[in-house]
Structure 1
């Protein structure tokens, strides 16, 4: 990527302002600027970049967070943008400041070290927002159901016996059909009222989560009408994989490293084996794990594959790891063709 005419710009992004530093092809400081994190600041930075020359590459740290707006603006302006990794621990030996971080980003652009293509916006961004809302509803509903079960366990005996045993979902259904007992002590009536409120909140969260899931299905269907027909692929898993934006990666091996299914050597002596990778996009990894589990139960070809792997001497965990790597390879070819609209 490096050339003598190239200008590498590193941008350290923050909530209220962004700091940029520019280096020439020889690594010499050309200049710097600090702009506000708003459209006027983005325009000021774009004008400053235009004055540097034609061969300008901008490396932004945090294109999915504080740098998202700037990245979108620069790409729309025709300026080449790459995402740089956060500084590693060894990079911090010279200290920590916004200017140092911006210079580190610029040097990484010059060296081509740890660069990646920013994720797409548009439909991918909408899917990401729906996933956040869906997971929030599911997590909150789980928390409410746990509270409901805890209060039910410690409730007065008469009330507890009247409601009956069961898990959170059964308690919600029973409480929805029940009414307060006439003549019950005030404490029992108040506890019953609280239990009913928790049950109502759990039902509302479930309805909202289902609505978000339907919207995910609709949006995914508009992108690829047959993706959800694949065995084991539901709207949530499909959305997690699409949000990873495999098309921005160099190939299926890079996608495997991104989703954490690329095997890592863990051999010693005559024992040759590989271990689980705990890096990469954990949501994409979770999606592949869910798909693999579903297929291992419901898909005959997958069961035959796992049986063959275990007959070759692999453990069940190693066979499942190989299955997830195989799924990553096959799904990559499908996902790179999904058109993400802007």
Structure 2
């Protein structure tokens, strides 16, 4: 399918390819929907097998951001950017260039942190554009968003476990966590504090060591999806739930922090056919964007307001899961319908 046809088919407003001559920076920005406000979404640094793969990723991620922000009740639309790795050697110069690119969109896109970035990178963006959030607390921002994402996944997992008939709390349940990054480790810590048994895996040795120190049992990365557990929590890369992996799952629920966990729309039906309760990723992992988006609220950032909104993920997800059961439609399908309605498309 030609690029313009893909933009139209996915109902995107804008797709921007950009190159900075001085640094060699190459980036793609997708603005999906600005009905509720400017498109808010992270900048991801990643090495892709092809430019076509990069386009696929940024289009899917930006659409997911529209749905995520809408379901979280935020006054933002959805957008996303990818920087094609490797990042130029002069990191500061590269992010100054990226900041100028964001500034050139005149507020249609508000950037924040994603894979491969740090709070320091946001601070560099802010030297040349006001349209970037996620600064450190010392710099007057909202700080690291990952603890809020982990909290949202934890409370959303409680709603998912209840729907799956696993009880009202996590005590005594087993949870397989794929990915021991910031979100995964934050989730593992909460689960163990709540009395759950955690099985974890990651390709990063430091992440594995940290998970083990928290009390998690460790398995190989090629085993984690098929581990026997009450709940599977994908907290790494997307597309892990697909035609090949779903038949191998040995869990009753899936609730994790990764973006785009389903490889295709049909995979939601595959999970439902197996009786596995799925928490739509763009609903359960909204804690981070709730946190950074609050920097732009009237009167400035409020930790109390952020916590209340993150805790509300449990109720939102419970409503979606209940509606799915009543309508016999997949949870992912119900969540998309809800988001599209909030975006004025349904």
**Higher RCO (CA < 8 A, seq sep 6+):** 2
TM-score by length of 2: 0.24
Give 1 or 2: higher strand fraction: 2
Give 1 or 2: higher helix fraction: 1
TM-score by length of 1: 0.24
